Amino acid sequence: MNERDALLTTAVRAVETVDGDRQSWTDEDRSWSSQAAAEAVGEGARAADFIACRARFALDRLRPRDPGFVRVVDGLLWRGWIAALVMVLSFAAGVLIDRIGSGQNINLLAPPVLGLLAWNVAVYLLLLVNSLRRGGKPARQAGPVRRALVAGLAGSGRRLRQRGVAMPAAVLPRLLGDWSQIAAPLYAARVARLLHFAAALFAAGILSGLYLRGLAFEYRAGWESTFLDAETVHRLLSVLLAPALWLTGSLLPDVDRLAAIRFGVLPATENAAPWLHLLAATLFIVVIVPRSVLGIASGLLERHRRARLLGDLGDPYFQRLLHGYLAGPAQLTVIPYSYHPAPATTTGLQRLLRRVFGDNAQLTWATPVSYGGEETLPAGGHREGHGLSVALFSLLATPERETQGAFVRAVRAMGNGGPVLVLVDEAPWRARFDPDPRRIEQRRAAWRSELADLAELGLTPVFLDLAQADLNAAQDEIERRLEGSA
pLDDT by residue (tens digit) across 360-389? 777 888 888 888 887 777 654 444 444 788
What per-residue confidence (pLDDT) applies to 327? 64
Beta strands in 387-436 (DSSP E): 388-394, 420-425
According to DSSP H, which parts of 97-229 are helical?
112-133, 144-154, 171-216
pTM of the model: 0.68
Phi and psi angles of residue 271, each rounded to the nearest 5 degrees, phi first: -55, 135
Q: For the residues 438-460, what does the mean pLDDT come to? A: 83
What per-residue confidence (pLDDT) applies to 153? 63
Helices and strands of the chain, counted as H and E runs: 19, 8
Confidence band of 418 (pLDDT split at 50, 70, 90): low
- Mind listing the pLDDT tens digit for each residue in 276-332? 888 889 889 999 999 999 999 999 999 999 888 887 787 777 877 887 677 666 788
What per-residue confidence (pLDDT) applies to 417? 59
Q: How far is CA 468 from the centre of its chain?
A: 35
Instruction: State the CATH architecture for 329-483.
Output: 3-Layer(aba) Sandwich (3.40)
Dihedral of CA atoms 236, 242, 243, 247 in degrees, nearest 10, equals 140
- Mind listing the pLDDT tens digit for each residue in 82-106? 999 999 999 999 888 765 444 567 7
CA distance 463 to 447: 10
pLDDT over 70 at 159, yes or no? no
CA distance 285 to 154: 33
pLDDT over 70 at 155, yes or no? no
pLDDT over 70 at 50, yes or no? yes
Q: Name residue 272's beta-bridge partners.
A: none
Q: Considering only 140-154, 252-266, 433-447, which range has the smallest mean pLDDT?
A: 140-154
Average pLDDT over the chain, rounded to an integer:
82
The CATH 3.40.50 domain(s) of the chain lie at 329-483
